[in-house]
């Protein structure tokens, strides 16, 4: 049933979440609490499983009993008609045989009832997934020419489905090669600007242009290929350091990977890892520190060498000394690129040519 599928999904989600949060669970001695939560999820699933098995176990004998009663009724009616001469013994035997053949599929149907219910519940989840809003289609749109990096947001309005407006009439102009810091309170849409620029979402109204071209009128691959993102939460794959740096350019040579790492000041710590660039970093880079993950992410972006670069709270993992070092390193890296620096940390503002404060309305 749908309830069983939901309970099973909740349990698997809980287990996956706790495995990822294991250090935090231990650090805050929350093992008893998490154990209780696990037992609650497990008990809910166990209760639904027992109920489903009980119904299935009860249904098969119930159908068999009804079929048996039907055969007895048919036999009684048949013998009554046979006694009155309306039916012969051969006719009654044939009728009983046909009735018995008819009851067998009914018994089989009862046995698969639970499977049918479970399949229907899973099908509902699949249908919900298929009804999700798909990513915008390219539909043969032309490629974005190599960008100089001029960016314009023109009267952009945006809200997430079912949510309050995030951006209300945003007007923002960034010159090619300019570094602009975007600041503001949490929840006003700073990261949303990055998502809209990369078309991870589309505005409800208004336009976004790069070099005068509406980004809705160019192919997604050509647009995203010219925008680099270094995010607050670095997304790394469970592979080697080299594989992560070359994620956007899988056919590059090892020398190019190492050059990108040097540019991002990641080469020194990488060479001290057990297997250097061939060290497997674990799920989400758990074998690296936060600062090391940020540098690998920066090297990955620099290897692509995009004309537009988005640093979305990219210094959030650094302590003050590490942040200062990262900023000093970035000064040389950002020359000639259009940079959107999303931050709430004052030290990072030193990188910017201009600071734009937004409050969810126009800038």
Give 107-159 as a DSSP string: HHHHHTHHHHHHHHHHHHHHHHHHTSPPPPP-TTPPPPPSP---EEEEEEEEE
Show the low-confidence residues of the chain (pLDDT under 50).
none
Report the sign of the C-alpha dihedral through residues 186, 187, 190, 191, in that order. Answer: positive
Q: Are residues 121 and 155 in the same domain?
A: no
Q: Are residues 12 and 56 in the same domain?
A: yes
Q: Are residues 327 and 207 in the same domain?
A: yes
Q: Are residues 164 and 285 in the same domain?
A: yes
Q: Is residue 363 part of a domain?
A: no
CATH number at residue 330: 3.40.50.300
Q: Residue 210: what pLDDT?
A: 95
Q: Residue 241: what pLDDT?
A: 94
Over residues 261-298, the pLDDT tens digits come to 988 888 999 999 999 999 999 887 888 888 888 889 88
Cα–Cα distance list, 333 to 147, 160, 301, 330 (Å): 18, 34, 11, 5
- Write down the residue that tokens 């993950």 correspond to: 293
Structure tokens belonging to residue 285: 């880079």
Q: Residue 117: what pLDDT?
A: 66
Query: Which residues form the domain of 319?
Result: 151-357
Q: Are residues 156 and 126 in the same domain?
A: no
Whether residue 310 contacts residue 273, with contact meaning beta carbons closer than 8 Å, is answered with: no
Structure tokens belonging to residue 101: 């053949």
Q: Residue 125: what pLDDT?
A: 66
Over residues 318-358, the pLDDT tens digits come to 667 666 777 776 777 777 889 998 887 777 787 788 999 88
CATH number at residue 81: 1.20.1560.10
Q: Which of 95, 130, 165 is the last residue of a domain?
A: 130
Q: Is residue 172 part of a domain?
A: yes
Q: Residue 322: what pLDDT?
A: 66
Dmax over CA atoms of the chain, in Å, equals 108
Q: Are residues 156 and 114 in the same domain?
A: no
Cα–Cα distance list, 80 to 93, 190, 225 (Å): 14, 86, 85
Q: Are residues 212 and 113 in the same domain?
A: no
Q: Residue 45: what pLDDT?
A: 85
Whether residue 272 contacts residue 287, with contact meaning beta carbons closer than 8 Å, is answered with: no
What phi, psi does 327 have (nearest 5°)? Answer: -65, -45
Q: Is residue 268 part of a domain?
A: yes
Q: Are residues 90 and 170 in the same domain?
A: no
Q: Residue 175: what pLDDT?
A: 93
Sheet order of strands, 179-183 included: 227-230, 308-312, 338-342, 179-183, 354-357
Number of domains in the chain: 2
């Amino acid at each position: 049933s749908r309830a069983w599928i939901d309970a099973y999904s909740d349990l698997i989600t809980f287990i996956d979440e706790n495995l990822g949060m294991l250090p935090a669970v231990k650090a805050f001695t929350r093992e008893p609490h998490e154990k209780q939560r696990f037992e609650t999820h497990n008990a809910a699933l166990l209760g639904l499983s027992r109920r489903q098995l009980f119904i299935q176990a009860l249904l098969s004998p119930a159908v068999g009993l009804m079929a048996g009663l039907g055969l007895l009724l048919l036999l009684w009616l048949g013998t009554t008609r046979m006694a009155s001469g309306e039916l012969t013994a051969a006719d009654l035997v044939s009728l009983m045989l046909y009735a018995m053949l008819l009851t067998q599929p009914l018994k089989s149907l009862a046995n698969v009832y639970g499977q049918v219910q479970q399949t229907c519940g899973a099908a509902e989840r699949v249908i919900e997934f298929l009804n999700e809003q798909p990513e915008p289609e390219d539909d043969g749109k032309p490629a974005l020419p190599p960008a100089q990096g001029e960016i314009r947001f023109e009267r952009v309005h945006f809200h997430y489905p079912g949510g309050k407006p995030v951006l209300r009439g945003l007007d923002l102009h960034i010159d090619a090669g300019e570094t602009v810091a975007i600041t503001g309170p949490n929840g006003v849409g700073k990261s949303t600007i990055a998502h809209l620029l990369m078309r991870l979402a589309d505005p409800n109204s208004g336009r976004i242009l790069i070099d005068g071209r509406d980004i809705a009128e160019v192919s997604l691959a050509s647009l995203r290929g010219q925008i680099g993102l270094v995010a607050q939460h670095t997304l790394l794959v469970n592979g080697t350091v080299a594989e992560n740096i070359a994620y956007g350019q899988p056919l590059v040579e090892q020398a190019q990977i190492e050059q990108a790492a040097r540019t991002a000041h990641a080469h020194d710590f990488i060479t001290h890892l057990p297997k250097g660039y061939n060290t497997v970093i674990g799920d989400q880079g758990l074998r690296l520190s936060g600062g090391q993950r940020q540098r690998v992410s920066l090297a990955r972006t620099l290897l692509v060498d995009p004309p537009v670069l988005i640093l979305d709270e990219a210094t959030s993992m650094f302590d003050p000394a590490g942040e200062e070092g990262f900023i000093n390193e970035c000064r040389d890296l950002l020359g000639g690129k259009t940079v959107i620096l999303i931050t709430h940390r004052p030290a990072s503002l030193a990188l910017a040519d201009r600071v734009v404060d937004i409050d969810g309305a126009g800038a």
